[in-house]
Structure 1
Amino acid sequence: MWGLGCVCAKPLSFERRNCVSQVKAVNVEIQVVLGRSTLPMQQLLRMGRGAVIPLDTAVNDEVWILANNHPIARGEIQINDEKISIAVTREANVYDFMAGGQ
């Protein structure tokens, strides 16, 4: 798995271990983006219960996984019983996300 991991040639000092321990305790908000859409404001204002918003995503497309609003990975939707989860498939390309790419 990619991320903040590192390989250290020598043991970490007490201060460094304490810092790493504090970082590991930080909560990160995770969001999953299924797709995007652009609508005229008039259409948005007319929407009510049951309205359908078309997305730029096909059924088998990967979703974007964001950590604190930053793209970190791509994934696939999985449904097990009544639970929905995301299986991470690969690292995200930030430039693709900003361009609205797949």
Structure 2
Amino acid sequence: MFPPMWALGPLRAKPLVPLAWSDPSVSQVKAVNVEIQVVLGRASLPMQQLLRMGRGAVIPLDATVNEEVWILANNHPVARGEIQISDDKIAIAVTREANVYDYMAGGA
């Protein structure tokens, strides 16, 4: 199991995609913030059921406990990862590159 991400400090892992961005003209691009989302699973519900939901409702997902999650950058799949929990903190350890076709098909 990987150490929690917050215990590692700044990300220094080898990039999944080799970057040739050492050119100073690209420095502004490096400073652009990217929104990261983690998708635990998916569900499809009839609208009627969704509208009846209230506090305490449970939505079953198509994922299992040990399944990899999807990591999205600006809504685009970029990697897969594992959930890590330590005390009251949650983090995701990157495990591999994402396959966009698998994501669109709802697969693993």
Instruction: Assess same fold via TM > 0.5.
Output: yes
Q: Deviations over 1:14-49 (max 9, x none)?
A: xx51x3110110000000000000000010010000
Aligned mates of 1:33, 1:57 — CA distance in 2: 10
State the aligned residue count.
94
TM-score where L is the length of structure 1: 0.87
Runs of 4+ with deviation above 3 angstroms: none
User: Match of 1:42, SS?
Assistant: helix
Could you report, residue by residue, the CA deviation over 1:31-81 in whole angstroms, capped at 9, with x for unpaired residues?
000000000001001000000000000000000000000000000000011
Alignment partner of 1:33 is 2:55: no
Question: 1:4 deviation in Å?
Answer: 5.7
% identical equivalent positions = 77
DSSP 3-state at the match of 2:80: strand
Match of 1:50 among 56, 66, 86: 56
User: Unmatched 5+ residue regions in structure 2?
Assistant: 1-14
Q: One-letter code of the match for 1:63?
A: V
Q: CA RMSD in A?
A: 1.5
When the two structures are superposed, what TM-score results if normalisation uses the length of structure 2? Answer: 0.82
Higher gyration radius (CA): 1
Mapped contact 2:39–2:69 kept (Cα < 8 A): yes
Correspondences of 1:1-102 after superposition (within 5 Å): 1-3=15-17, 5-6=19-20, 16-17=23-24, 19-102=25-108
State the structure with bigger RCO (CA 8 A, min sep 6), 1 or 2: 2
